Each structure stands twice: as structure tokens, then as C-alpha cells.
Homo-oligomer: A and B are copies of this chain.
Amino acid sequence: MAIDRNLVVLIGGVGGAKLALGLNQVVRPERLTFVVNTGDDFWRLGLKICPDLDTLMYTLSGLVDPAAGWGVAHDSDTVLRSLQENYGFEPWFRLGDKDLATHLMRTQMLRSGNTLTEVTACLTDRLGIRARLLPMSDAEVPTIVDTAEKGELGFQEYFVKHRWQPTVRSIRHQNCEGAPVSTAVQMALAAADIVLFAPSNPWLSLAPILAVPGLRATLKDLTLPIVAMTPIIAGDAVKGPTAKIMTELGIDVSAKSVADYFGALINGFVDDIRNQPFEDDRLRLARMDTLMTDLPAKVSLARAILAWIEGWAS
């Protein structure tokens, strides 16, 4: 039985996409909205690349490379190899051939004057995705990572080129003061019954969304379940640099630190059964198996989270 409440999920990265796939099977698609981090977006080869939107689109459409959790399955790299071999182009950012089709379509539509929100609606529609994917903003808000070894790096330089090895000193969101929340995001939040932060990296994937002016204030005004989840399981991230960054920023690597990060923005928190329990009077706390190793685990976690939240009312 599909859940028939308006769910808005703030999301980014590969970890978030796993839960998204579960939610997509549990919630009626016309009730499901993803507000997606675009801080990772960048221009490469004259093309607009939106890694988090792409990961979510490929995941929900079934195109995704299941081993990597991003990119298109069975993709080739003929274009990139030709760029390198014939023109000396440095291929540090992998652009698969099938993936390039997406970037070409998106870029062309953007250059024709459409907003990223409009373009994303068109692309997801063509891919047969019924849930709504909303970029957090139509303006460009690139995430800049200040590192000890390399100074300031664009997000993809930090994450892909340098494989998130440099030590993070701070993270900022360039141009965020000039990036209003899109009307579509505002309307989705105004109609929401539940808001969920996906188990994405809070500092890299969710902070950019919260940096969009007006978004924090909008969330604070909502009187409904707003729930975050731990990306930390048994003292480490499932994948990626969450734990490493927490350490570098001087934050204790724990679910409690993540809950504290969201602070008064949330009123519920899903912790993992493997973690040390903690208490927080401000929060409703649940403990679940959040590892999501396969599709049934994703679906069952999504169902469990929503069932728990439904129970708050009673």
C-alpha cells in the first residue's frame, strides 16, 4: 500500500539515492518530491554537469550503474578517450558516453533559456520518473572546499580530481546570497506533510541546500515531522568522506554530532542499531538498520521510517 502523504526529501550524493529508491517504491510518486543538492554542479567541456541530479535520475529510472551507485550502467568512454588521445584533454572527471547524452540534452535546454528546474522536469519525464526532482535553486551555488594542502578547490576538484584526500578546513557556498529558493521548492515545502533529510553527507550534500537563502527559515516555520538520519554507522561512513571530514572539522564522528548539526531544524532522528544510543530531549529518536545493502533493505527502511513518523500523530 503506497503511502499517501506529501513527502519532501532533501537529498544529495550516492547515499541519499539509495534511500530515494526505497521511498520511490513506498510513496505514491505524485506525493514524492526530492529537493536536490546542486552545489556539486559544474561546467566541463562546455557542458553543465549536475552529479547529484544525475545520480538520482539514473537511480530512479533504473539506468544507474549498480556497482558504482552513480553513472549509467554498461557505459563506455569513447568520447573522453578521443578527447584525450586526439586533443590532449585531461580526463580527470569521468564522463561516460551514455552519461554525456544527459549533459548534452541539459546544456542545450539551459542555453535555450529554460531554468534548471524546467530542464530537470523535462529530463525526468523523458526517463519515465514520476516523482518530482527539484534542484535546490536555479542559480549556481558552487560548493568550494578550503583544504590545508591545496587551498580552495571547486567541489569536483576536491572530490574527484583529488579523491577527497586533502584535509578540509572549511566549506563555503559561493554566490549563495544570490540564489533564491526556487518557487517550486517553496511550493513543495508549503504542501509538505513530512520533510526528510536523506542520509547524505550533511556537510557536503545537505549544507548547500540549507545555505540557500530562505530555506532554513521556511523549514523553521513548518509544524510537521522533519526528520534527519545518520550517515554514520558504527563510527564510520558507509562510503565516502563523511567521517573523514567530521574529523578534519573537529567534530566527533557520531550520529549525535549529525543530529546536533541539524539542531532545531529537525524534530526526529533515525539512528542506526549499530550505533551507541544517545538521548536528546528535543528529538523523537528511532533506531533502525539503515545499511541498505540491497533493494529490499532500501524499501523496508523507507517503509519503517514512514511508519514510525505516521505513528507520531497517534
Residues in chain A within 8 A of chain B (CB atoms):
45-47, 61, 63, 72, 75-76, 78-80, 82-83, 86-89, 97-98, 100-102, 104-105, 107-108, 111, 123, 126-127
| Contacting pair A101 B76 (CB below 8 A) | no
Residue of B nearest to A47 (CB): B104
| Contacting pair A100 B100 (CB below 8 A) | yes
Q: How far is the CA of A88 from the CA of B128 in the complex (A)?
A: 12
| Contacting pair A86 B45 (CB below 8 A) | no
| Contacting pair A105 B76 (CB below 8 A) | no
Q: How far is the CA of A72 from the CA of B108 in the complex (A)?
A: 24
| Contacting pair A79 B98 (CB below 8 A) | yes
| Contacting pair A104 B79 (CB below 8 A) | yes
Q: Which chain B positions have C-beta within 8 A of A108?
A: 45-46
Q: Which chain B positions have C-beta within 8 A of A88?
A: 126
Task: Point out the residue from B80, B87, B104, B123 that lies within 8 Å of A45, measured CB to CB.
Answer: B104
| Contacting pair B87 A101 (CB below 8 A) | yes
Q: A76-B76, A76-B78, A79-B79 in contact; A86/B100 too (CB < 8 A)?
A: no
| Contacting pair B97 A82 (CB below 8 A) | yes
| Contacting pair A86 B63 (CB below 8 A) | yes
Q: How far is the CA of A100 from the CA of B82 in the complex (A)?
A: 9
Q: How far is the CA of A86 from the CA of B108 in the complex (A)?
A: 16
Q: A63-B86, A86-B63, A111-B46 in contact; A79/B105 too (CB < 8 A)?
A: no
- Can you list 9 A-B pairs, Cβ within 8 angstroms, ordered by A? A46-B111, A76-B97, A78-B78, A79-B79, A79-B97, A79-B100, A79-B104, A83-B104, A87-B123
Q: Which chain B positions have C-beta within 8 A of A47?
A: 104
Q: Which chain B positions have C-beta within 8 A of A89?
A: 101, 105
Of listed A45, A79, A80, A89, residue having the most chain B CB within 10 A: A79
Knowing that A46-B107, A82-B101, A89-B105 touch, tell me 6 more A-B residue pairs with CB under 8 angstroms. A46-B111, A63-B86, A83-B104, A83-B105, A86-B98, A88-B126
Looking at the assembled complex, report how far the CB atom of A280 sits from the nearest CB atom of chain B, in whole angstroms.
44
Q: Which chain B positions have C-beta within 8 A of A102?
A: 82, 86-87
Q: A76-B76, A76-B78 in contact; A86/B101 too (CB < 8 A)?
A: yes
Task: Point out the residue from B46, B75, B76, B78 that lies within 8 Å of A104, measured CB to CB.
Answer: B46
Q: Which chain B positions have C-beta within 8 A of A46?
A: 46, 104, 107-108, 111
Looking at the assembled complex, report how far the CB atom of A40 sits from the nearest CB atom of chain B, in whole angstroms.
20
Q: Which chain B positions have C-beta within 8 A of A76?
A: 76, 78, 97
Residue of B nearest to A128 (CB): B86
Looking at the assembled complex, report how far the CB atom of A117 sits from the nearest CB atom of chain B, in whole angstroms.
17
Q: Which chain B positions have C-beta within 8 A of A63?
A: 86
